């Protein structure tokens, strides 16, 4: 077991990022933006992910020994796939910090994103099902309308050139549907539209790890950069499955989308005890957070197994108090919209609680 001394060795801040010395804070902000620029590119396929993993390892060299761990898991319950998590090698730990490094495999239109996420956030189950059904009808209707319009244009062009279609009509219709869907959703998108989801979480975890290096309890915290969260939390599920007995008394904090929203949310289904404890602790510290009774990222892979897990996520809230993150998976998720201050605030809040949590664990074992 690592040392139980909980002492920050000359850290430039105390409770929140507001008390950081201006020159140190500016240096941290510059470094965060540098990391964001290096990592703001799609990481969907293995060859795209490899440079990102190399960069993370380089940034934490001499602080954490990180290695890629390959695990097999079934996608959708029957398709074999391999998850490649990047994990610290320390075996004796009390806290596990996670952030997924893969990026969305699709890019939605902003309107589609806004409508679908507002539908998903409806709390009443019956109303949510009704709204989802209506949303799907509208979406399908829009696709059909566009596909017929594109089909008419293609047919008119082909007839003008006196081409004989024959069985090619079927393929024209397929092409029309594909083009119309591409207006709303782009598969395997290009472009740096991955800043908040989840380059911000990865950069935040890098920043937190460097901050941990200034403490005596670094080895009591394990880092896990998870793979294939966007495909169904696969990397987190594979980690939980392999380490089930070892992690049953550990605490998990997951960082996802921490670079934009005006509200810091502590997410956990039914507001679990650990979520309430974190919220109360940060409230006493004067850090404004909100409890949110749901999970949206890798923390759900752990809370579903009754583990002590929460998510740290930043979002805007509508007038109903419902989470709003309509920019992710769209062309609006760019580095220009990221706030280094909000990443630092989120990570500092997490650090404050982690320090207190490990100190209490140490006192309990003495």
- What sign results for the dihedral spanned by CA atoms 86, 89, 90, 91? positive
pLDDT along the chain (366 residues), means of 10: 42 39 69 95 94 97 96 92 97 96 81 62 66 74 77 69 58 72 65 91 97 91 97 96 95 97 91 92 89 92 95 82 79 92 95 93 76
pLDDT value for 16: 39
CA atoms within 13 A on the CB side of 40: 21
The answer to whether 109 touches 128, Cβ cutoff 8 Å, is: no
Closest-CA residue to 313 (of 324, 301, 329, 305): 324
Cβ contacts of 146-153, under 8 Å, gap ≥ 24: 146/179, 146/180, 146/183, 147/173, 147/176, 147/177, 147/179, 147/180, 148/176, 149/180, 150/175, 150/176, 150/179, 150/180, 151/176
Q: Where are the chain's structural domains?
A: 17-105+192-365, 110-187
CA dihedral 323, 32, 214, 350 (to 10 degrees): 0
Joined together, the tokens standing for residue 197 give 């989801």
pLDDT value for 10: 38
CATH topology of domain 17-105+192-365: Aminopeptidase (3.40.630)
pLDDT value for 176: 73
pLDDT value for 96: 98
pLDDT value for 228: 96
pTM of the model: 0.81
The answer to whether 326 touches 110, Cβ cutoff 8 Å, is: yes
Q: What is the DSSP letter of 94?
A: S
Closest-CA residue to 71 (of 231, 240, 194): 240
Burial of 198 (0-12, 13-18, 19+ CB in 10 A): buried
């Amino acid at each position: 077991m690592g040392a139980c001394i909980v002492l920050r060795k000359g850290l430039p801040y105390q409770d929140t990022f507001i008390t950081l010395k201006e020159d140190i804070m500016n240096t941290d902000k510059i470094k965060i933006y540098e990391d964001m620029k290096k990592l703001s590119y799609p990481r969907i396929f293995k060859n795209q992910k490899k440079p990102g993993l190399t960069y993370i390892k380089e940034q934490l060299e001499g602080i954490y020994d990180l290695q890629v761990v390959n695990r097999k898991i079934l996608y959708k319950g029957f398709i074999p796939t391999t998850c490649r998590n990047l994990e610290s090698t320390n075996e004796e730990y009390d806290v596990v910090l996670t952030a997924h490094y893969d990026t969305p495999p699709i890019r939605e239109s902003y309107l589609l994103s806004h409508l679908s996420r507002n539908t998903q956030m409806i709390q009443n189950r019956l109303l949510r099902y009704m709204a989802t059904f209506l949303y799907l009808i509208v979406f399908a209707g829009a696709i059909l309308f566009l596909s017929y319009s594109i089909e008419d244009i293609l047919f008119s062009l082909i007839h003008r050139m006196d081409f004989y279609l024959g069985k090619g009509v079927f393929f024209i219709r397929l092409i029309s549907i594909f083009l119309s869907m591409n207006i709303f959703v782009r598969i395997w998108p290009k472009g740096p539209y991955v800043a908040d989801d989840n380059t911000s979480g990865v950069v935040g975890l890098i920043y937190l790890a460097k901050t941990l290096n200034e403490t005596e309890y670094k080895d009591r915290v394990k880092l896990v950069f998870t793979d294939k969260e966007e495909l169904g939390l696969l990397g987190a599920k594979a980690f939980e499955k392999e380490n089930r007995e070892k992690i049953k008394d550990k605490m998990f904090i997951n960082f996802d989308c921490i670079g934009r929203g005006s509200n810091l949310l502590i997410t956990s289904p039914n507001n679990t005890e650990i979520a309430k404890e974190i919220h109360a602790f940060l409230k006493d510290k004067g850090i404004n957070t909100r409890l949110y009774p749901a999970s949206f990222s890798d923390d759900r892979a752990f809370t579903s197994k009754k583990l002590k897990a929460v998510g740290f996520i930043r979002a805007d809230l509508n007038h109903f108090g419902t989470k709003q993150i309509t920019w992710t998976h769209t062309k609006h998720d760019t580095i220009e919209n990221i706030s280094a201050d909000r990443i630092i605030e989120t990570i500092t809040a997490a650090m404050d609680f982690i320090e207190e949590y490990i100190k209490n664990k140490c006192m309990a074992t003495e």
